[in-house]
């Protein structure tokens, strides 16, 4: 197998935006950007031109696929730079700005279809996602998500980068609600497990856990519970070890005062109190976070058994999150975070940045 071809093919397959291949694109300085797109295109096609691989079916197919993806992204990149619309996108006009959204969805959630797009902010293109609800009877959940994100983002702080930004809300012509949120260029934990079939290294897991605890500490202090933490809602970004918790549709605010309860039972990731219709507490989210960590480590989420490669002390630490009884379980995200940091330093010495690749 031609290694260079395999490498470029891999990069193209995992790219989700034209920027991933052609670098930052904006509507300023059009000429030099078109020049850069052209250079990159020529450089890549030198390797992936299918004709080089006549005689080797596997390589030929790989090259053809790579070229097909590259052509789609090049067209998008050129359009973005020129600020043009196309048949492959729709436009959402709001008072502040105009969003260009690709017609082909990038993901499907439990409640909605997710589309990717961008808007131009004084010459710079900013990426967004649009969630359009599938079943109008779920409209309350989507409205709830908008409400919770607004509450969480009212006081910008250190944790804001771990939370979605709600840019706009709209209705389609058939009266379905949609939300426009900023795009997060990370991967949800299902995608991480797709790449790491046997689970990730414990040292890559700990930064994910650390970030999520720091975020949840802040969210819980404000009286909010996420209510449905699972691998599709836990996103991580390898390059700077950022994480983001998304999909606040099931969020609960000040449950003891409002009587607001759990909105969904997630078979593998919800704590038992959800089924028992008890009051949501911060520990409920910690249970789900613990399950997510067992999952990403390649453990068994039914039995909570983790691979032997995971340090026994770290295993005990995670087991404390997934205790069935809510009162015997980890309660306080910030407290658990400081314990985690102490544990990591005791096990492996001072913390240092460890590269994680997707």
Ligand X SMILES: Nc1ncnc2c1ncn2[C@@H]1O[C@H](COP(=O)(O)OP(=O)(O)O)[C@@H](O)[C@H]1O
**Residue with smallest beta-carbon separation from ligand X:** 109
The minimum distance between CB 139 and Mg ion, in angstroms, equals 15
Q: How many CB atoms lie within 10 A of CB 78?
A: 19
Nearer to ligand X, 117 or 290 (CB): 117
Binding site for Mg ion (CB under 5 A): 109-110, 247
Residue 181 site contact among ligand X, Mg ion, none (CB < 5 to 8 Å, cut-off depends on kind): ligand X
Residue 107 site contact among Mg ion, ligand X, none (CB < 5 to 8 Å, cut-off depends on kind): ligand X
End-to-end CA distance of the chain: 21
The minimum distance between CB 25 and Mg ion, in angstroms, equals 29
Q: How many CB atoms lie within 10 A of CB 104?
A: 10
Nearer to ligand X, 190 or 351 (CB): 190
Structure tokens at 237: 């970004």
| Residues 154 and 163 sit within 8 Å (Cβ to Cβ) | no
The minimum distance between CB 25 and ligand X, in angstroms, equals 18
| Residues 228 and 247 sit within 8 Å (Cβ to Cβ) | yes
Residue 273 site contact among ligand X, Mg ion, none (CB < 5 to 8 Å, cut-off depends on kind): none
Nearer to ligand X, 78 or 274 (CB): 274
**Residue with smallest beta-carbon separation from Mg ion:** 247
| Residues 205 and 296 sit within 8 Å (Cβ to Cβ) | yes
Burial string for 139-173 (b: 16+ CB within 10 Å, else e) reads eebbebbbebbebbeeeeeebebbbbebbbeeeee
Nearer to ligand X, 262 or 317 (CB): 262
Name the maximum alpha-carbon separation found in the chain.
Answer: 71
Nearer to ligand X, 33 or 266 (CB): 266
Q: Which of 73, 97, 70, 75 is nearest to 86 (CA)?
A: 75
The minimum distance between CB 107 and ligand X, in angstroms, equals 4
Q: Which of 342, 340, 14, 345 is nearest to 205 (CA)?
A: 340
Structure tokens at 152: 């969480």
Nearer to ligand X, 182 or 332 (CB): 182
The minimum distance between CB 112 and ligand X, in angstroms, equals 4
DSSP string, 245-264: E---TT-EE-HHHH------
Residue 63 site contact among Mg ion, ligand X, none (CB < 5 to 8 Å, cut-off depends on kind): none
Nearer to ligand X, 66 or 163 (CB): 163
The minimum distance between CB 201 and ligand X, in angstroms, equals 22
Nearer to ligand X, 117 or 298 (CB): 117
Find where tokens 């001072």 sit: 350
Binding site for ligand X (CB under 6 A): 107, 109-112, 114, 129, 131, 164, 181, 183-184, 188, 232-233, 246-247, 249
The minimum distance between CB 111 and Mg ion, in angstroms, equals 6
The minimum distance between CB 128 and Mg ion, in angstroms, equals 17
Beta-sheet strands, E only, within 136-255: 166-171, 177-182, 187-188, 224-225, 234-237, 242-245, 252-253
The CA distance from 183 to 1, in Å, is: 35
């Amino acid at each position: 197998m031609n290694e260079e071809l395999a490498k470029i093919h891999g990069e193209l397959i995992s790219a989700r935006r034209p920027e991933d291949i052609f670098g930052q694109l904006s509507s300023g300085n059009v000429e030099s950007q078109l020049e850069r797109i052209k250079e990159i295109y020529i450089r890549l096609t030198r390797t992936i031109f299918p004709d080089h691989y006549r005689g080797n079916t596997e390589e030929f197919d790989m090259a053809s696929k790579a070229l097909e993806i590259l052509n789609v992204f090049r067209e998008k990149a050129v359009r973005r730079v020129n600020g043009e619309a196309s048949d492959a996108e729709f436009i959402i006009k709001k008072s502040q700005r105009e969003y260009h959204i690709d017609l082909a969805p990038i993901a499907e959630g439990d409640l909605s279809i997710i589309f990717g797009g961008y808007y131009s902010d004084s010459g710079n293109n900013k990426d967004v996602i649009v969630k359009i609800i599938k079943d109008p009877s779920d409209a309350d959940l989507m409205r709830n998500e908008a409400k919770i994100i607004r509450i969480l983002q009212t006081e910008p702080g250190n944790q804001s980068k771990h939370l979605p930004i709600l840019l706009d809300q709209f209705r389609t012509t058939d009266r379905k609600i949609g939300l426009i949120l900023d795009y997060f260029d990370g991967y949800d934990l299902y995608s991480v497990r797709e790449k790491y079939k046997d689970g990730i290294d414990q040292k890559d897991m700990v930064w994910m856990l650390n970030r999520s605890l720091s975020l949840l500490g802040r969210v819980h202090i404000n009286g909010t519970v996420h209510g449905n933490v699972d691998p599709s809602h836990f996103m991580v970004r390898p390059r700077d070890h950022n994480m983001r918790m998304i999909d606040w549709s099931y969020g609960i605010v000040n449950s003891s005062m409002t009587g607001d309860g759990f909105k969904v039972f997630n078979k593998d990731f919800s704590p038992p109190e959800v089924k028992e219709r008890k009051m949501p507490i911060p520990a409920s989210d910690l249970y789900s976070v613990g399950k997510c960590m067992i999952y990403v480590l390649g453990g068994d989420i039914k039995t909570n058994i983790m691979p032997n490669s995971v340090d026994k002390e770290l295993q005990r630490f995670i087991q404390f999150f997934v205790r069935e009884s809510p009162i015997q379980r980890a309660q306080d995200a910030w407290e658990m975070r400081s314990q985690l940091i102490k544990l990591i330093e005791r096990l492996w010495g001072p913390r240092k940045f460890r590269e994680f690749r997707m």
